[in-house]
Amino acid sequence: MLLWKRGPQILASSLATPEMTVPQGSIANTSLQTTGISPGTTPNSDSTAESSAEFPAKSSAKSSSKAAASANVTVPKVAPWRAWLIASRPLTLTATCVPVLVGSSVALSVFTEQLGGGANLYIFCFSMFSALLIQIATNFFNDALDTLKGSDNENRRGPPRAAQMGWLSPQSLIYAGAACLALALVLGVPLVSIGGWPIVGIGLLSLVLAYGYTGGPWPLAYLGLGDLFVMTFFGWIAVTTMIYLHTQLWLFEGLVAGTQVGALATVLIAINNLRDIDADKIANKKTLAVRLGAKGVALEIALLIGSSFVLGTYWGVAHGLIWASLLPLVTLPLAMSVMRLVWNTHRPAAALNEALRRSAILHASFGILLCVGLWLKSQ
């Protein structure tokens, strides 16, 4: 993880809603401690939101400032560029980068005969940039919508968000999110020329759900569908679509690799929801953790992590790619440490925040090692 000596540290806490972490000794840290917000923690990723029709002009950064004032705290100031950086949550974008890399690696390693022996950098770049823009838009919408809904306030346990702290207005974040989606749509046009109508359908659905994850009349997060959303879009769809763009084939290998990286991405949101299970019950947020209970979601996390490693045997057995099966095992000790923290019967917030940090590292490192293994053909 990249740690900045100055400014906020941003941790990847979930596929859609990771937060800013304020380093010890900073002005922001001192101010946040007076609010009861623990620096280094992350809020619930399954925050609910209002539909786009519920954006009154009075709902802006002023509400955040008033909330801070009522709590008698000093809101730390940040430069505009840093506020936008915080809202985009850059270190969480590995959730998009990993499946694009893995999908391309599967196509280029296993199905080189369909590619004419060469990599299509054109497809890779357009896919990567359009997917990144969609995730950034999702992060902007989430930041804005949670503030407008009121679920982000001075009493929230996690680190501050840009709209909540009054650094950016919810309206500006919504406009920026819409601009990101528009640019993603433009970058997706060349991909449509390659993949045809399937890419049109997947692209439009992705654009709609960028907002619909926490907004609209049926926000997926509010209905407890956040885990399924992450597995589907950051696992199966992302990987199989990349393979299709490269090879013009929908392949079983995409489901295998998509499950591996998608499961580890889903672990992030599952841990987040486990930490905030009590608050979500009070707020009537029907996350999967609320529905399953603490023991149930702990079991879910164990199964997700385990499936990622067990499925790795497929590459060695089916394609002789032994390194693709073995290299990801390097991250197994890290995975075990995550599970130990999750299965702690007391589950203090600090332990689960550490589990979030480790699971983010696990997701990125597992994906990179899988890519390397796919390229190292066994002799």
- pLDDT of 85-95, one tens digit each? 989 988 778 88
Tens digits of per-residue pLDDT, 138-178?
999 988 987 887 766 665 565 578 888 889 999 999 999 99
Q: What predicted TM-score, i.e. pTM, was given to this entire model?
A: 0.77
- What is the 8-class DSSP label of residue 76? P
Q: What average pLDDT does this structure show over 219-227?
A: 88
* Percentage of the chain exceeding pLDDT 90: 50
Q: What average pLDDT does this structure show over 35-64?
A: 40
Token pair of 330 as six digits? 């390097």
Separation between Cα atoms, residue 366 and residue 379, nearest integer Å: 23
Architecture of domain 84-375: Orthogonal Bundle (1.10)
* Percentage of the chain exceeding pLDDT 70: 74
Q: How far is CA 269 from the centre of its chain?
A: 8
Tell me how long the chain is: 379
pLDDT given for residue 16 in this prediction = 38
**Residue whose tokens read 């923690």:** 41
Per the CB < 8 A criterion, the answer to whether 363 and 91 are in contact is no
Token pair of 172 as six digits? 């500006």
